[in-house]
Amino acid sequence: MSIPVFSFVAFSGTGKTTFLEKLIPQLKARGLRVAVYKHDAHEFEIDKKGKDSWRFTAAGADVTVISSNTKAAVMENRYVSPEELVAGIHGVDLIITEGYKAGPWPKIAMRRRESGNDFPIPPEECLAVVTDEPAPGAKRSFGLDMVSEMADFLKEQAGI
């Protein structure tokens, strides 16, 4: 059985990260193991210049892995599709992506009046929306402070 994936999508400055920071503990309180996959439109840097793992990557390694007793990271030094990365996530009950409005997973679009942006995709194309304004056409609407309700909704949608 595949792990349910839900994509939270919004323009920058809407509050996706803040909402997810509040949502993750709510999901954990319901006994769920959660993975979060962040889309970064910029070239992020995970390794420190001069460190061993950076040196291995600079030498041409296609994949560099670093681990300790408390965490691990796999650096794919090549393009890997979002679907392939999600397929490699194991041992969790639910996967949340931040971003990927064009991805294949059910979307939860966010809009905050103060940001001045609209929804990134039409509300009627989304599983739900999170907003501080009316959202005509939305199948389900949550306020920006309805984090607990969103946790219950995701658990229900995931069939957990």
**Cα-atom radius of gyration of the chain, to the nearest Å?**
17
Helical ranges in the chain per DSSP H: 16-29, 52-58, 82-87, 147-158
Residue 135 near residue 7, CB atoms below 8 Å:
no
pLDDT in tens, the chain (160 residues): 699 999 999 998 899 999 999 999 999 999 999 999 987 766 667 778 888 888 898 888 888 888 889 988 888 888 889 899 999 999 999 999 998 888 899 999 999 999 889 999 999 999 999 999 999 999 999 999 999 999 999 999 999 9
Q: Tell me if residue 113 falls in helix, strand or coil.
A: helix
Burial 89-105 (b: 16+ CB within 10 A, else e): eeeebbbbbbbbbebeb
Residue 108 CA to residue 68 CA, distance in Å, equals 35
Predicted pLDDT at 1: 64
Looking at residue 75, its pLDDT comes to 86
**pLDDT value of position 42:** 62
Give the three-state DSSP class for 130. strand
pTM: 0.88
Contact 129, 108 (CB under 8 A): yes
CB 106 within 8 A of CB 157: yes
Q: Closest Cα partner for 64 from 55, 73, 72, 75? A: 75
pLDDT at residue 16, rounded to an integer:
92
